[in-house]
Chains A and B, each alone.
Chain A
Amino acid sequence: MSKANESQVGGARVKRGMAEMLKGGVIMDVVNVEQAKIAEDAGAVAVMALERVPADIRAQGGVSRMSDPDMIEKIQAAVSIPVMAKVRIGHFAEAQILQTLNVDYIDESEVLTPADYEHHINKWNFTIPFVCGATNLGEALRRISEGAAMIRSKGEAGTGDVSNATTHMRKIGGEIRRLTSMREDELYVAAKELQAPYALVKEVAETGKLPVVLFTAGGIATPADAAMMMQLGADGLFIGSGIFKSGDAAKRAAACVKATTYYTDAKIVADASRGLGEAMVGINVADIPVPHRLAERGW
């Protein structure tokens, strides 16, 4: 008889595998127990526990940090679905804290104020898996080489403007397709240009996909946004401010879950889009001065 205590924990397969189980689903930002329960009831595959959604971080300004452990634990106690939480880029001590709380995934996130403008966290040192943002393939592969078990395209968080999510998904997808058409000697040059390890570049060229799950995030606010991102090749979605900054959060959350599953069926997406009340007001990314754009954070 095998014993569970003779097992291997924290390997790449269970970390990446956890993200595989989230595919085709929506991960929702929540700031309290009540929102977490609404998200679970609406069919979210996981919740991201944080003190302020990106739209409020943007509006209020100041330094944004890891959430209070008490708040994260209350949410863990309230729902049965996975609970994720964010740390600042490079802030390995915040990640050590989240590991003691047994969150299910850590998001090393550009939405919080970076703690290190040169290094990201060495994610191989943790048994908890990490998700990291990326705007292009090179950035995604650098994060994977540091141990990220899941990637999300960044978009521009807290805007309700989906255009940057579109740009980043098209960019990552296009760069992957380009690699699949290259000769081996060209892949060496591609690795240099992408500033990514050759072994990962070669793997992507051979398989035609990232070695980890690719979600999308940043600005998704409607069922139509969800359906579009899934058709552009996302494995699933993060929705931050888009749900709980809207008129009827419960209804909108359930509608986005439906649109994510039936993303190729426009009739179902149309039905899901009916009578949702007011969407989050939003900001056009073009109106945000470049230094205030969160997607620029990460190196």
Chain B
Amino acid sequence: MEGIVYLYVFMLAAFVGYEVISRVPVILHTPLMSGSNFIHGVVLVGGMVALGHAETGFEMLLGFVAVVLGAANAAGGYVVTERMLGMFKSGNRKGGA
């Protein structure tokens, strides 16, 4: 039964993703691509859980790789998106007059 519930989660999440983008004017796609790149950085949480339950050395190595890569995705994705949006903001200050 739980499996079916998850499938509903998949379906609803897909509609949410579609809605979030389809209401966005084309001109704002860049921040969204970078922002969504950051959001799938939540894979870090999955990596932590996987490493947290790893037992053999091989499992621990793979789990460690998952955590390192996931952390890089999250940290890098955040900084890049924030800088991009920050650039737009400073543009606003200078050009607002």
**A, B assembled together:** no
Interface residues of B (CB under 8 A from A): none
